[in-house]
Every structure is written in C-alpha cells, then in structure tokens.
Amino acid sequence: MGFTIGGMREIRSGTRRRGRSSDCTAVAEFTGLWGWDVVPGARAAAGACSCGHADCPAPGAHPLDFAPEVPAGATLDEVTKAWSEFPGAAALLPVGRAFDVIEVSEAAGRRALVRLERMGLPLGPVTATPDGRAQFFVAPGAAAELPRLLYRTGWDDPRALDLRGLGPGEHITAPPCDRGGLGPARWLRPPALDSATRPPAARLLLGTLAYVAHRSRGRGWADRA
C-alpha cells in the first residue's frame, strides 16, 4: 500500500524535525500510511468558494478542478511539494477506490458504532461531518450494491432510512479539514493500519446500520442527540 515502518516514523516526526506544516503531515499520513489518494479541495469563506466561480453549487465542498491529485504512496517530500501549490486547500478523499462509504445521520451512526463494537464486528474508519452525518468506510463496490444488500436484510428503500451509499466519482472531506465553511470533519473512529487498508464488507455492518437508522427516525433519537 505504499508505506513502511520507516516511512511512518518520517511522517510522524516530520513536522518536528523539519518544520513541515501540519497540513502536509496529515496528507502524507493519508497517502503514505493509509494508502489513500488525496485531492486538494476548495475552501469556503463568507459563502464564497475558493474555486473562483460565483455560482459554485457546492462552495468549499468539492475538488479544485485545476489541482492534480496526490496519489497513494506519496512521501512527505512529495506531498509538501504538491501542497505548496495550493496552500490552505482542504484534503478530499476520492470514494470508490480504496473504500466506499455508507452514510447515516450522526446520531444513528454513533449508536450503531457502539453496537458494532460491542458485537466485535470488523470496522473501518468512521468520520462525522459538520452537517451531522456519519460516514462508515467499507469495501469498494458497496454503493452500487446497497439496494440489493438492504433488500437481503429486509429493507426496501435506503431513502426511508436516511441511509446513503457513496461510491466512485464522489469525495469526502478528510478530518480535520473544514467542509463548506460549516466547520471541521472529525473522526468518530480514526484509521488504523488494518482497518484503513482493508475496510470491512458492507454486508457485515448494514443490518445494524439500517436497524439503528430506522429506530432513530421512528423515535426521534436524532432530535434528542
């Protein structure tokens, strides 16, 4: 996946030893430790997007179309060189390559995460967005298979559960970057070497996620969280 123990030590200590910016160090962890591609993303301030388009439909929540992607395996030096061209850019992670995402409300996601951990099921990273969504990293292909997987577990319509699959062509904001001027994305479950490089199959989590999402909507848990 493009990382080594020596590379991990360089990334972890790079800022202290060589004065690297924290942004570059974070991006180098994504590329070098977790094996993820990273795309420089737009930032939003006072409702305006740094992409320069006055009619931008998603201010501060999309890749910069003129910025090259930083590939998985990039070293701290390579990241620093690339990111120097786009200072202050948000780090966006392309979905549908190393992982897909299953997204639910943050309140439902937090409750499901507790249940899944108690059950001892394999889990990947989980993020929380500033607009109240929880994003579970799962194996690639899950988004396309989501309706079929839900049907097999007894659920017909993901929209009725406020449950969404994100796949190829979509991007999520990597913590702790700001998304759309709303605030930072956060880790509910940070990445680790095993979970980041081998996210679980969606079918292992989906029954619990769907059940908790259904109960959250039915009983108003999200409103009380």
* pLDDT single digits (tens) 111-151: 999 999 999 999 999 999 999 999 999 999 999 999 999 98
Residue 54 lies in a domain: no
Looking at per-residue pLDDT, the higher value among 159 and 64 belongs to: 64
Domain count, the chain: 2
C-alpha triplet 100, 103, 107: angle, nearest 5°: 150
Range of the domain at 204: 100-224
pLDDT on residue 157: 73
* Same domain, residue pair 84 and 136: no
Q: What is the pTM of this model?
A: 0.87
Span 97-103, average pLDDT: 97
* Same domain, residue pair 161 and 196: yes
On whether the CB atoms of residues 76 and 28 are closer than 8 A, the answer is yes
Residue 109 lies in a domain: yes
* Same domain, residue pair 120 and 83: no
b/e sequence 103-139, b meaning 16+ C-beta within 10 Å: bbbbbbbbbbbeebeeeeeebbbbbbbbeebbbbbbb
Distance of CA 35 to the CA centre of its chain: 13
- Could you tell me which of 72, 70, 68, 69 has the C-alpha nearest to residue 3? 72
* Same domain, residue pair 132 and 217: yes
* Same domain, residue pair 86 and 133: no
* Same domain, residue pair 108 and 39: no
Q: What are phi and psi of 136, to 5 degrees?
A: -95, 125
Looking at per-residue pLDDT, the higher value among 12 and 96 belongs to: 96
pLDDT on residue 218: 61
* Same domain, residue pair 184 and 215: yes
Residue 59 lies in a domain: no
pLDDT on residue 219: 56
pLDDT on residue 14: 41
- Could you tell me which of 62, 61, 68, 72 has the C-alpha nearest to residue 27? 72
Looking at per-residue pLDDT, the higher value among 79 and 216 belongs to: 79
Is residue 22 very low, low, confident or very high in pLDDT (cuts 50, 70, 90)?
Answer: confident
Calculate the average pLDDT of the chain: 87
N- to C-terminal Cα distance for the chain? 38
Q: Which of 4-8, 68-72, 92-96, 157-161 has the lowest mean pLDDT?
A: 4-8
